[in-house]
Amino acid sequence: MDKNLDYTMKFEGISEEKLSIKETLEYVYEALEEKKRYDPIDQIIGYILSGDSSYITSNRNARSIIKKYERDELLKELLKSYLSK
């Protein structure tokens, strides 16, 4: 018999506070990819260009997570990553 049933466990989901911009973009990309309706890259671009959060799925709370950062911060991170290679 499992002795761990004598107390309450706390489940800790993904902490939005701990995600960097890079981690956020990767997380949102994966959430969009799971939906398989649209190209995740196109959806993220649509969001960054327009600010319309409907480009981002609510799957896995991705829409709420990406909105933690300003669009210019997301674009800055993408450009820095691209140019550093």
Question: pTM of the full predicted structure?
Answer: 0.77
**Residues 35-74 pLDDT 10s:** 888 899 999 999 999 999 999 999 999 999 999 999 999 9
pLDDT of residue 7: 64
Q: Which candidate, 74, 76, 56, 52, places its Cα nearest to that of 64?
A: 56
Cβ contact 73:48 at 8 Å: no
Ordered by start, the domain boundaries in the chain are 20-78
Length of the chain: 85
d(CA 67, CA 53): 8
Q: How far is CA 58 from the centre of its chain?
A: 10
In this prediction, residue 71 carries a pLDDT of 97
- The confidence score (pLDDT) of residue 62 equals 96
Residue 15 pLDDT exceeds 70: no
